[in-house]
């Protein structure tokens, strides 16, 4: 008498790649969106006082979610990678290019105007170290260990660089959505229903491709992503170019950078 086949045991929840992606996404949204929603309902200005502290902790949602996932699946094997200093420097430079170019164009090509503003802003916040600390913590360190440290390498096991940039950039853009509704944020000043907001959301995709180039091709690792994000934030703070036109210029420059990174990658593939 033949022995009947037994059904395969179901995998525990969260052990498949798609399950882990879903867990990471839900954790990120819960850690960020719930506190932001509470601030919005309470009508708290996130630019000052306790609101600023709660906002900053919630902004760390992606990196905190990655930490939880690493702790839960700490037995997951990861191949050691070599991180290069030039990849990190390239990330910093690439991230700063778009806002600086936008500011320079809108300033009529006069770097003196931008220079004086940068000096004034630096002095007002307590010097270069204060600028560095703010631009590193508010965004780069709070987010990148989640987006580029945890999510990007796992997407890359299944997707091309281009598709990874599209998926990750879209998730990154959606995560920013509540900031357009919170008073005290730069996104709130831009306005959700505006050309600047549309440019901001779309720019997350080419920016993600540029970061992939710095982290993978130039082997900068997650620290190249931190540097690129910090460079973008610092350049925007020191050389501001507000308005829809500036946002469109930044988007255009970011698309050009992504196209150049793609071309260099293709040329490298052919030569190897």
**SS3 per-residue string spanning 102-122:** HHHHHCCCCHHHHHHHHHHHH
- Tokens encoding 232: 């973008």
Q: Is residue 240 part of a domain?
A: yes
- Note whether 85 and 217 are within 8 A (CB): no
pLDDT of residue 222: 96
Q: Is residue 167 part of a domain?
A: yes
| pLDDT band of 185, cuts 50, 70, 90 | confident
Task: Please compute the mean of the pLDDT values over residues 175-204 and round it to a whole number.
Answer: 93
User: Does residue 78 or residue 213 have the better pLDDT?
Assistant: 213
| pLDDT band of 12, cuts 50, 70, 90 | low
Q: Is residue 1 part of a domain?
A: no
pLDDT of residue 138: 81
Q: Is residue 22 part of a domain?
A: no
| pLDDT band of 200, cuts 50, 70, 90 | very high
User: Does residue 16 or residue 93 have the better pLDDT?
Assistant: 93
* Res 229 pLDDT > 60: yes
| pLDDT band of 124, cuts 50, 70, 90 | confident
Task: Please compute the mean of the pLDDT values over residues 222-244 and round it to a whole number.
Answer: 93
pLDDT of residue 204: 98
pLDDT of residue 136: 85
Q: Is residue 58 part of a domain?
A: no
Q: Which domain holds residue 215?
A: 82-271
pLDDT of residue 1: 45
* Res 7 pLDDT > 60: no
* Res 14 pLDDT > 60: no
Q: What is the number of structural domains in the chain?
A: 1
């Amino acid at each position: 008498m033949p022995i009947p086949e037994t059904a395969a045991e179901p995998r525990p929840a969260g052990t498949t790649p798609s399950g882990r992606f879903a867990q990471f996404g839900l954790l990120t949204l819960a850690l960020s969106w719930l506190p932001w929603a509470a601030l919005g309902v309470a009508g708290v200005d996130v630019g000052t006082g306790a609101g600023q502290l709660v906002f900053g902790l919630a902004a760390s949602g992606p990196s905190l979610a990655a930490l939880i996932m690493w702790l839960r699946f700490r037995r997951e094997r990861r191949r050691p990678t070599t991180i290069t200093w030039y990849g990190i420097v390239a990330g910093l430079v690439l991230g700063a290019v778009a806002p600086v170019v936008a500011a320079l164009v809108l300033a009529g090509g006069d770097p003196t105007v931008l220079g004086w503003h940068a000096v004034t802003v630096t002095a007002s916040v307590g010097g270069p170290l204060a600028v560095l600390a703010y631009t590193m913590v508010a965004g780069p360190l709070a987010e990148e260990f989640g987006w580029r440290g945890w999510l990007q390498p796992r997407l890359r096991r299944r997707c091309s660089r281009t598709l990874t940039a599209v998926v990750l950039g879209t998730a990154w853009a959606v995560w920013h959505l509540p900031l357009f509704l919170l008073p005290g944020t730069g996104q709130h000043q831009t306005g959700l229903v505006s050309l600047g907001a549309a440019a901001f959301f779309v720019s997350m995709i080419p920016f993600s491709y540029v970061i992939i180039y710095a982290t993978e091709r130039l082997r900068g690792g997650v620290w190249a992503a931190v540097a690129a994000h910090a460079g973008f934030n610092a350049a925007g703070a020191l050389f501001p170019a507000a308005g829809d036109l500036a946002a469109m210029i930044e988007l255009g420059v970011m698309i050009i950078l992504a196209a150049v990174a793609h071309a260099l990658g293709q040329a490298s593939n052919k030569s190897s």
